[in-house]
Amino acid sequence: MRSQWLPCLLVAASLAGGVAGGETAITIVDDLPGAGRLAAPATGQTLYVLDETARTVTAVDPFAPAKRWRAIGPADLDAGSTEPVRPAAIACIDSNTLAIVCRAGTAWTLRAFRLAPPGADGGAPSLLQSLPLGNAADASPATDVFVSDTRDWLAVVGLPAPLPPVVRAPIAGARLGNFSDRLCPPIESSDRFEAATSSPFDEWVVISRRDAPPPGRTALSFHANTARPRLLDLDLGLAGVRDAAFCRGNGTLWVVAEGDGKTAAEAGLWRIDAALAAGRQVAAPVAIARLPAPLSVVCLSERAVAISGGGADRRVLLVNPAQPQP
C-alpha cells in the first residue's frame, strides 16, 4: 500500500544524508527543573517550554536564549478552577494562541490562551476556551497535543483510561470545536500508545508499542486524515519513543526515544530515514544527538531542532543537524 509519505521520506533522507554524527547541540535552557513538553509556532521564532512542576509556560527565543519571559503562570491556569490546574502538554494554535492540556483532580480539559505581547507591562494571557475532555483519575506520561500542518484540526493523544486515547477537534480561526474520537485512528487494545503527530500531507502518524517480540516491538503507522485506511505500517526499531515531529521545510521525521538497544548512551534525538529492504519500504532510525530520558521534540527549521529531557538534570537543547562539529 502506497502513501504520499514514501516520496516525502525519500526526499528527507537525501537532504539529510551524510550529516549523522556531524551535528552540533547547545544547551539553551538548564534552569527549569520541570522542563518537559515543548511547542513552537510555524515561524519557529519562539520556543515554549512547559514546566509541570512550577505549573508555568516559559517563552524562549531559541536563537538568543537569554531573552525569555513567562507566557503562562499558575494563576492563569487556575482561573475559574476550585483546585490547582496541572498542565500536561502544549501546542501552538497560532503565533499568539497556546493550547494546554490540563488536569484538575480527575477532570481533564483543553484550555486555549491568547498570549500577551512579549514583555508587555502588566500584560496577562486571556483564557479563550476551556473544553472538557472527560474524567480520569490517573495521569499519563504519553499525553500530548498537536496541531495539523493545515491548521484545520487539533488532536489530544495519550489520555489515560477510561478516556479515548485519541480525540480531535476542528479549528476555526483561534477557536476550537468540540472534541470527538470520530475520524481518529484506532489504537488496538493490545497496543501501548507512545507518540503521534501529523505529516506534511495532513496524515495521522502514530507510534505505538505492540505486544510482540522484536522486531515488531514498536510500530510506525500512517493513516489517512479520515483515520482510515491505514496507509503504512512499519517497524520503527526504537524503544521508549516519547515524542515525534515533522520538519515543515523538508518533511524530515524526528523522534526522541530511549534508543534501539544496540549502542550505549543512545537515548536522545533520532532522524527517521527512508530505506528499501528486499524492495519494500522500511524506516531507518539514525541517532543524531544524545540526551538522557528525552521528553519532547519540536522542529523549528531544517537547521534547528529543539529537544528536552535529561532526567534529574532537565534541560533543553537546540540541535543543528546540518552543521559539522569543529
Q: Considering only 46-50, 164-168, 228-232, 313-317, which range has the smallest mean pLDDT?
A: 228-232
For residue 268, pLDDT beyond 50: yes
For residue 315, pLDDT beyond 80: yes
Provide the pLDDT for residue 214: 57
CA distances 69 to 76, 291, 309, Å, are 15, 25, 21
Cβ contacts of residue 64 below 8 Å, gap of 6+? none
Percent of the chain with pLDDT over 70: 87
For residue 23, pLDDT beyond 90: no
Compute the average pLDDT of residues 108-125. Answer: 84
DSSP of 213-260: -TTTTEEEEEE-TTS-SEEEEEE---EEEEEEEE-TTT--EEEEEEE-
Render pLDDT for 195-219 as a digit per residue (tens, 0 to 9). 999 999 999 999 998 776 655 578 8
CA distances 196 to 25, 34, 174, 205, 248, Å, are 24, 22, 22, 5, 16
Provide the pLDDT for residue 256: 97
Residues in a beta bridge with 319: 25, 305
Provide the pLDDT for residue 248: 85
Percent of the chain with pLDDT over 90: 64
For residue 190, pLDDT beyond 80: no
Q: CA-CA distance, 218 to 207, in Å (whole number)?
A: 7
Compute the average pLDDT of residues 1-16. Answer: 35
**Range 28-67 burial, b when 16+ CB lie within 10 A, else e:** bbeebeebbbbbbbeebebbbbbbbebbbbbbbebeebee
Q: CA-CA distance, 207 to 59, in Å (whole number)?
A: 28
CA distances 92 to 19, 35, 43, 131, 231, Å, are 30, 17, 11, 16, 27
* Polymer length in residues for the chain: 326
Q: Which residue has the higher pLDDT, 261 or 77?
A: 77
Antiparallel, parallel or unpaired: β 304-309 and 315-320: antiparallel
Provide the pLDDT for residue 255: 97
Written as nine digits, the cell of 250 is 523538508
Count the neighbouring beta carbons within 10 Å of the beta carbon of residue 73. 15
Q: Considering only 31-45, 265-279, 285-299, which range has the smallest mean pLDDT?
A: 265-279
**What does the DSSP 8-state code read for residue 180?**
B
**Which of 16-30, 37-51, 249-263 ranks highest by mean pLDDT?**
37-51
Q: Considering only 78-92, 197-211, 260-274, which range has the smallest mean pLDDT?
A: 260-274
Q: Considering only 12-16, 99-103, 293-297, which range has the smallest mean pLDDT?
A: 12-16
Compute the average pLDDT of residues 131-135. Answer: 96
Provide the pLDDT for residue 217: 76
Q: Could you give the 3-state DSSP secondary structure of residue 204?
A: strand
Written as nine digits, the cell of 301 is 527549521
For residue 3, pLDDT beyond 60: no
For residue 27, pLDDT beyond 90: yes
Provide the pLDDT for residue 300: 96
Cβ contacts of residue 311 below 8 Å, gap of 6+? 292, 293
Provide the pLDDT for residue 296: 98
Provide the pLDDT for residue 48: 98
Compute the average pLDDT of residues 106-120. Answer: 89
The alpha carbons of the chain give a radius of gyration, in whole angstroms, of 19
